[in-house]
Each structure stands twice: as C-alpha cells, then as structure tokens.
C-alpha cells in the first residue's frame, strides 16, 4: 500500500528544490490475481502488482504540464515533477486546468473497504467447479470458451501542494462465464453471465452459473422474427449500455467541445418521458468498489441527471464547472487532458405510469437482453444507432429466442417513447436499472 503521507512529504521536498509552487499527484496501486480454465484444467494464472501516478505541475504563467510515472520513490517523484514542469511551458493558456475548489473538503464515507484476498489455488478450485456445473446443465453445452475469476485490491490517492490529501482502498472480485452450445442442424448459440462482489466469499457463483445456463438454454430453440415496428423491452443491462453509448448528453466536457447531443441551454428541458429518472451515484450502496473522490480530489456524490424526464444536471470536472457556472460533481479523470466520465448509473421510475405492463402476459413484444457491437453501431453525435442484439420474441407470455436481428432508432426519441419503467431494479456491474418498455422501435429480422 502506498504511504500517502510520506509521498506528500517527498513531493513537497522535491517541488521546493525544483522551485515548483503548484503541483498535484493522482495515482493508484493495484494488486491483482486472475485465473482461467479450460475443460477442468488451468488455462492461465496471472498475478501482478502495478503502480501508476499522474503528476501535474504549473508554472508562474498558469500553464500546466502532465507526466506519468510508476516510480513512487523520491528520485522517481523528482524526475516526474521536473518533466511535468518542463512540459508546462508548452501547455495551453486558455482554460488551463486548476485545482478543484473542493479538493480539501471532507469526503462522504469511509475510505477503506477492503477484504482479504484469496489464494490463486482457491480461485482455480471455484472456477473449475463452476465450469463443470455449467457444462453439466445441458447436453448441448459444449464448452465455456470465455471464463475468468479475478481479485483486485486497489489503493487510490490524491494530493496537492495546497495540503489536499486523500486515500482510499477497496477490493473487487469478479467472475464471468460465457458458454457455447451446438446442436446438429442448428446454429451455435451462446450465453453468459457476470458477477461482481467485494470478496470471494460474497461472490454469487451459483447465481452466475444458473444465469449463464438459463440464458443459453433459452436460446437453443430459436425462430426468425419478421421485420417491423415493435414494443421493445430493454433489460437493465441493455438500457445501461445504450445510456453509456450516448453519455455525451450529460457530459459537460463533451458539451464544451461541441461533441454532444446537448448544449448548455439544454438544462431544464424535457428530453425523456416523465416516467424516467436517472442519477449518477458513485456512492450507491449496491456499487462494489464505490469511490469517494475523483481524479482531481473532488468528493463524489449523487447527481440527478434526469428527473421525471427533465434534464437537471451535467457531469462536471473543476474546469467545466467553472466555465459553465456550476459546481464540480466529482467526475474528473486526469491525464494529458482532464476528461469527464460517469461512475454508476441509477435508473428508476419517475412520475407514476398511466398503465402497467407485464412480460408474463405480453403479446408480440421484443425483449432485448444484450446489445452488441456498440463500438460500430452507434453514432453518438447524430443520436442514431443500429445494433444487433440477443433476446426473445414474447408471444402469449412465452419467450422465443430470436435467431438474429438488429434494433435501430434515435436515442433521444427512445427516451421520449418510454411507456413503462418497471418497479423492480436489476443490479448490474455498471449500475442499477429496471426493465424499460419503449414503444414503436424498428426491428430488422434475418
């Protein structure tokens, strides 16, 4: 674990020798062990311990230089500070980054959420057992080509020349199982599941195996679906994927760079159905590895983005907040350029619905479980998307796997076409979101 108090003393000493008045450091140390298996045998066992520190230094003209280092001893820090200071003379003058005004404010929660790390042999034992159980759940399941069980212990810190000093640590354990089935005369089918927890003991391994098996078995008997307009039900994971693909709507840096579907004047306008509310909440109790400060040391918090269909806030760094007359929200990532990114979406129902819907009695509805090829099928500046998906055609309350199809539409129109937000949330690694019902979306079958 990085001794951040000692690091701060060394950084101050080095900066004084170099004549640097303003600087900050943000970094992390990661201790990770991961395993993969193949038909009961270890395929890969990896262990690593790595550190990364981003160093920024300002000159007297307010320009900033940035460098990174993996050396956290005094000699490495001095070299990094000197390099960053030299680079500052080539830095931008307009809208140059500065310290966050909230870098010294108290943070909202405990800064240590660690659990003991398991041995690699324990990880292998659990993964081999999970693979065996999954393979035995149906005769058609031929293998689990993609699988893994990993543990990470992460220590993060931030400090600057104005006495800001933050540190926190947490552990993450994750398992993914992605299996494949083959039947004579039928197309190969696949299905997977992912689980994340704080420790191996808390990891829902049985739930991961069960979900992966049930999904894959449900896709064995498939049919073609006619092209047309359908009411579409997005799973929580699928809707969060779409929300993430068009996150420029909430991103203040994208807005200032004219790379967003929103403008500064969009705040307070209705962009979605009043049935929808969305927050970004890095401290949500269901988030494993919640973080209490961002790359600039700003405390994280719950930020309402859409409230009953109305766009209420953007995600900010210290720099975007200053330019748009707002407060930092704790979403900055520092590097060669300060960027803004989300932490953990929480999607929930807004205004009460006029009608409710139920998949158990649904007729001619498309249930999308997983969106695919997001890197190729999304045009984030136009708002349009055309994406293959994995899901089911629901008729008379029964679900039938769809052989192959794509869903296409306009993201902002999707938000306004929401007809129902289910009350029961679905927990995913990227956020908390219930199933979302959207009217009149284009489905192209094969």
pLDDT (tens digit per residue) in 131-155: 999 999 999 999 999 999 999 999 9
At 370-427, the pLDDT tens digits run 999 999 999 999 999 999 999 999 998 899 999 999 999 999 999 999 999 999 999 9
Query: Which two three-digit tokens encode residue 222?
Result: 């498939």
Q: Is the pLDDT of residue 271 over 70?
A: yes
What pLDDT, on the 0 to 100 scale, is given for residue 112? 64
At 194-236, the pLDDT tens digits run 999 999 999 999 999 999 999 999 999 999 999 999 999 999 9
**Burial state string for 166-202 with b = 16 or more CB within 10 A and e = fewer than 16:** bbbbbbbbbbbbbbbbeeeeeeebbbbbbbbbbbbee
- Decide if 357 contacts 437 (C-beta within 8 A): yes
Q: Which of 234, 229, 439, 243 is nearest to 355 (CA)?
A: 439
Alpha-carbon distances, residue 115 vs 3, 109, 112, 200, 344 (angstroms):
19, 17, 10, 9, 21
Mean per-residue pLDDT for 234-261? 97
Mean per-residue pLDDT for 76-93? 95
What pLDDT, on the 0 to 100 scale, is given for residue 1? 59
Mean per-residue pLDDT for 122-134? 97
Q: Is the pLDDT of residue 4 over 90?
A: no
CA 396, CA 382: separation in Å to the nearest integer?
36
Query: What domains are there in the chain, each with its CATH number?
Result: 4-216 (3.30.2290.10), 221-446 (no CATH)
Mean per-residue pLDDT for 235-244? 97
DSSP 22-81: EEEEEEEEEEEEEEEEETTEEEEEEEEEEEEEEEEEE-TTS-EEEEEES--SHHHHHHHH
CA 166, CA 106: separation in Å to the nearest integer?
9
Query: Which two three-digit tokens encode residue 141?
Result: 């399941």
CA 68, CA 27: separation in Å to the nearest integer?
9
In which residue are the tokens 């000093």 written? 165
What pLDDT, on the 0 to 100 scale, is given for residue 424? 95
Q: Which of 67, 68, 73, 65 is nearest to 20 (CA)?
A: 65
Q: Is the pLDDT of residue 80 over 80?
A: yes
In which residue are the tokens 């065996």 written? 132
Judged on CB neighbours under 10 Å (0-12, 13-18, 19+), 54 is: buried
Please state, for a pLDDT cut of 90, what percent of the chain lies above it: 92
CA 50, CA 70: separation in Å to the nearest integer?
8
Instruction: Identify the three-state secondary structure at position 176.
Output: strand
Please state, for a pLDDT cut of 70, what percent of the chain lies above it: 99
What pLDDT, on the 0 to 100 scale, is given for residue 111? 55
In which residue are the tokens 């000493």 written? 13
Chain Cα centroid distance, residue 403? 29
What pLDDT, on the 0 to 100 scale, is given for residue 429? 87
What pTM did the predictor assign? 0.95
Q: Is the pLDDT of residue 110 over 60?
A: no
CA 287, CA 430: separation in Å to the nearest integer?
8
At 344-370, the pLDDT tens digits run 999 999 999 999 999 999 999 999 999
Chain Cα centroid distance, residue 90? 33
pLDDT band at 14 (very low <50, low <70, confident <90, very high): very high
Average pLDDT, the chain: 95
Q: At what angle do helices 74-88 and 4-18 cross, to 10 degrees?
A: 50
CA 403, CA 188: separation in Å to the nearest integer?
10
pLDDT band at 109 (very low <50, low <70, confident <90, very high): low
Return the biggest CA–CA distance within the chain. Answer: 76
């Amino acid at each position: 674990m990085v001794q951040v108090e000692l690091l701060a003393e060394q950084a101050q000493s080095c900066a004084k020798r170099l004549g640097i008045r303003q600087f900050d450091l943000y970094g992390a140390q990661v201790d990770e062990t991961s395993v993969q298996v193949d038909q009961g045998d270890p395929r890969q066992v990896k262990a690593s311990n790595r550190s990364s520190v981003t160093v920024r230094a300002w000159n007297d003209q307010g320009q900033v230089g940035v460098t990174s280092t993996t050396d956290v001893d005094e000699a490495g820090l001095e070299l990094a500070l000197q390099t960053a200071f030299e680079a500052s003379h080539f830095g931008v003058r307009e809208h140059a980054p500065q310290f966050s005004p909230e870098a010294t404010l108290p943070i909202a929660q405990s800064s240590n959420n660690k659990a003991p790390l398991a041995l690699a042999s324990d990880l292998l034992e659990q993964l081999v057992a999970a693979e065996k159980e999954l393979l035995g759940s149906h005769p058609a399941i031929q293998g689990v080509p993609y699988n893994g069980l990993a543990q990470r212990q992460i220590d993060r810190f931030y400090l600057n020349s104005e006495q800001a000093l933050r540190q926190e640590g947490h552990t993450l354990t994750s398992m993914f199982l992605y299996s494949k089935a083959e039947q004579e005369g039928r197309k190969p089918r696949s299905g997977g599941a992912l689980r994340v927890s704080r420790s191996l003991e808390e990891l829902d391994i049985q739930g991961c195996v069960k979900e992966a098996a049930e999904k894959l078995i449900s896709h064995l008997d498939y049919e073609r679906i006619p092209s047309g307009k359908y009411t579409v039900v997005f799973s929580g994971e699928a809707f969060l994927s779409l929300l993430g693909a068009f996150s420029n709507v909430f991103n203040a840096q994208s807005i200032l760079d004219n790379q967003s579907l929103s403008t500064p004047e969009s705040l307070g306008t209705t962009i979605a159905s009043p049935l929808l509310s969305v927050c970004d909440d890095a401290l949500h109790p269901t988030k494993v590895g919640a973080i209490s400060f961002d790359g600039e040391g700003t405390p994280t918090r719950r930020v309402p983005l859409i409230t009953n269909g109305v766009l209420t806030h953007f995600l900010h760094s210290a720099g975007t907040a200053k330019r748009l007359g707002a407060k930092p929200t704790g979403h900055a990532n520092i590097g060669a350029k300060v960027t803004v990114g989300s932490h953990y979406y929480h999607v929930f129902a807004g205004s009460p619905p006029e009608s409710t819907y139920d998949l158990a009695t649904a007729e001619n509805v498309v249930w999308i479980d997983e969106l695919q090829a997001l890197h190729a099928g999304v045009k984030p500046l136009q708002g349009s998307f055309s994406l293959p998906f994995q899901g089911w055609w629901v008729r008379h309350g029964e679900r039938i796997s769809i052989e192959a199809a794509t869903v296409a539409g306009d993201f902002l129109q999707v938000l306004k076409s929401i007809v129902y937000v289910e009350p029961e949330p679905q927990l995913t690694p990227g956020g908390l979101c219930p199933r979302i019902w959207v009217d009149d979306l284009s489905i192209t079958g094969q």
